Amino acid sequence: MNIKENAKQTVIPVSENAGAVLTDLYDGKEYTVSAEQTVTLDIPAAADGGTVVLALKDGGTPEVPQEPDTPENGDTEDDDTSENE
């Protein structure tokens, strides 16, 4: 976000791999992720919106969902709630 009268250049860290392309959804400008996993971009002046919204070009490759450590209902195998007393 930029609240100044002039555009500013900034470097931000990203989690995407080097070489990935991010697109600013406001103006369509594309940025390539560096080897250091950063993107250098120009944030427009406040009068021009002062923001950027970056998205991985073409949606990228989705992450494989991981199985939860415990069942969703909270039950565990060693939880003894039987009423056999």
pLDDT digits (tens, 9 = 90+) for 9-66: 999 999 999 999 999 998 899 999 999 999 999 999 999 898 999 999 876 555 555 6
pLDDT at 1: 85
Q: Domain-by-domain residue ranges, the chain?
A: 9-40
Place 8 in a pLDDT band, splitting at 50, 70 and 90.
very high
Between the alpha carbon of residue 20 and those of residues 10, 15, 26, 61, the distances in Å are 18, 10, 19, 10
Asked whether 20 and 33 are in contact (CB, 8 A), the reply is yes
Question: pTM, whole model, 2 decimals?
Answer: 0.63
Neighbours of 22 (CB within 10 A): 22
pLDDT at 36: 96
pLDDT at 29: 92
